[in-house]
Amino acid sequence: MRSERKKIDLFLWISLSCTGLFFLLLLATGGRAAQWLAMENNFDFSFTDHFRHIAFASDRTQFYFNTYDATFPAFAYLLYYLLVRIDPPEAPWDVNGWRDARDYNYNMLAYIILTLLLVVFFQYLLTKMLENAGAGKAALLTAALMLSAPFMAGAIERGNISFLTAVMVLAALYWKDSESPVKRETALILIAMAAGLKLYPAIVGMVYVKERRWKETVRLVIYGLVVFLVPFFFVGGIPALIRYLKVLFFFENQGYCSWTNIRNFLLSISKVLGQYEHSAYFVKYFKIAENLYMLLCILTLFIAKEKWKQGLYTAGIMALYVPYSYRYVSVYMVIPLILYFREKEEDQGLWECILFALIFTVPFYGYFTGWGADLFIFAPIYLLMGLSLLREWAAFFRGRRHMGPA
């Protein structure tokens, strides 16, 4: 219990101190630091990921054919369609009018209410998972996370469904080992639903493979196929499914300079080195690099002994693998963070806690460098993943060497 509290205390001191200093920086700069923190350094697209997909879903059977930006599976758009249905049929916006949808009647209020409900459930989940730390610490931890750049200036500001997806995966990894068969089955359904929202949370199923829980793995595959395939029959059928796969293929071949995933990180490095004009040539090699990274994470999951690393190596894929992702994917690192507080008992390895705190704060110090905020949000993620992978494999080979020849 003391170890758990020590780590949470360290996290809270770093996270809240940096966030507090950023708010002082806002006062000192007359608010100019807010533009530095905002995605794309402006507020022109606030809440776009929520209302754009609501706008798409307003044309329920044709939205995949209206745009290449409909990148979610059909299950997600059925949920957005429910939000379309709370507006009257004569609502003055169409599939491309996301700003009109955002500004119409109570739609913004509905988004706020949904976000508050999600925060309440997240707080309840943390209280249950970290009961040894106490309800007060869990509440402070929730506050620190909500005020951090990945949440406040990422998933929440952009209205991205990654926040919901992260909470669903976290709850699933908590309930999968429950004594209650209902909770264990709910965990499977939550993973399938999370994959139905964002697709790549399906990687969490590798945890069941690692633990050789074959019956649950089969049921998870069945749930996943049902959640993924059946909704397409309500949004355009087989042609819609084919179109969606084409959209995925289109984005799989894209790249742009950012620090938010392996491919685009390497593109940014090429720009720093003055080689960006060759980026089209480099992308094919960067695609190999990102796939090697995913394979390494999966292999490391199978040799890792600590339970919290189930979340680390799957969330590490969700946060850094997808080539068309933006800042909001950093919220997935909250999954291993909470499992780290819950599972890791010894006081060693506090460097992980420090890196987690540097992820979930507002990196005010980056403002003075002239570099974008994303670099300072994602650099600790790369360090955390890189150091963890190195240490895991070093320990593995040391263990093999001590065992000697069979």
pLDDT of 277 reads 66
- What tokens were used for 264? 């685009």
Selection from 167, 172, 299, 162 nearest residue 223 by Cα: 172
Query: Is the CB of residue 41 less than 8 Å from the CB of residue 51?
Result: no
In the chain the first and final C-alpha atoms are separated, in Å, by 40
Most confidently modeled of 1-5, 15-19, 132-136? 15-19
Mean pLDDT (whole number) for 154-166: 96
Q: How far is residue 260 from each of residues 82, 150, 153, 154, 269, measured CA to CA in Å?
A: 31, 11, 14, 12, 12
pLDDT of 184 over the 70 cut: yes
Mean pLDDT (whole number) for 29-48: 92
pLDDT of 405 over the 60 cut: no
Counting Cα atoms < 13 Å in the Cβ hemisphere of 370 gives 0
Selection from 318, 312, 282 nearest residue 300 by Cα: 312
- What tokens were used for 366? 């980056």
SS3 396: helix
Nearby residues of 55 by Cβ (< 8 Å), 6 or more positions away = 93, 94, 95, 96, 97, 98, 100, 101
Q: What is the DSSP letter of 406?
A: -
Crossing angle of helices 74-85 and 237-252, in 10° steps, is 110
- What tokens were used for 113? 């209410």
Q: How far is residue 92 from each of residues 46, 96, 98, 220, measured CA to CA in Å?
A: 20, 11, 11, 41
pLDDT of 173 reads 96
pLDDT of 2 over the 70 cut: no
Alpha-helix residue ranges (DSSP H) falling in 304-323: 308-320
**Rounded Cα–Cα distance for residues 394 and 385 (Å):** 14
Mean pLDDT (whole number) for 255-260: 75
Provide the pLDDT confidence category of residue 196 given band limits of 50, 70 and 90.
very high
Query: Is the CB of residue 108 less than 8 Å from the CB of residue 47?
Result: yes
pLDDT of 38 reads 93
Provide the pLDDT confidence category of residue 1 given band limits of 50, 70 and 90.
very low
Q: Which residue has the higher pLDDT, 273 or 55?
A: 55
pLDDT of 35 reads 93
Mean pLDDT (whole number) for 72-91: 91
Is residue 172 packed enough to be buried (19+ CB in 10 Å), middle (13-18) or exposed (0-12)? buried
pLDDT of 406 reads 47
Q: Which residue has the higher pLDDT, 133 or 211?
A: 211
Query: Is the CB of residue 147 less than 8 Å from the CB of residue 37?
Result: no
pLDDT of 347 reads 47
What's the chain's average pLDDT? 90
- What tokens were used for 104? 């119409």
pLDDT of 217 over the 90 cut: yes
Provide the pLDDT confidence category of residue 287 given band limits of 50, 70 and 90.
confident
Most confidently modeled of 204-213, 249-258, 389-398? 204-213
Identify the residue whose tokens are 């949000």. Answer: 377
| Cα angle, residue 210 at apex, residues 209 and 215 outer, rounded to 5° | 35
Query: Is the CB of residue 321 less than 8 Å from the CB of residue 105?
Result: no
Selection from 229, 232, 278, 228 nearest residue 255 by Cα: 278
Least confident of 33-47, 187-201, 272-286, 350-364: 272-286
- What tokens were used for 401? 């060497």
Query: Is the CB of residue 203 less than 8 Å from the CB of residue 210?
Result: no
Mean pLDDT (whole number) for 156-185: 96
- What tokens were used for 33? 């630091």
Query: Is the CB of residue 148 less than 8 Å from the CB of residue 140?
Result: no
The shares of helix, strand and coil residues in the chain, as percent rounded to the nearest 5, are 75, 0, 25
pLDDT of 43 over the 60 cut: yes
Least confident of 131-135, 248-252, 287-291, 321-325: 248-252
- What tokens were used for 314? 């799957």
- What tokens were used for 36? 């530095």
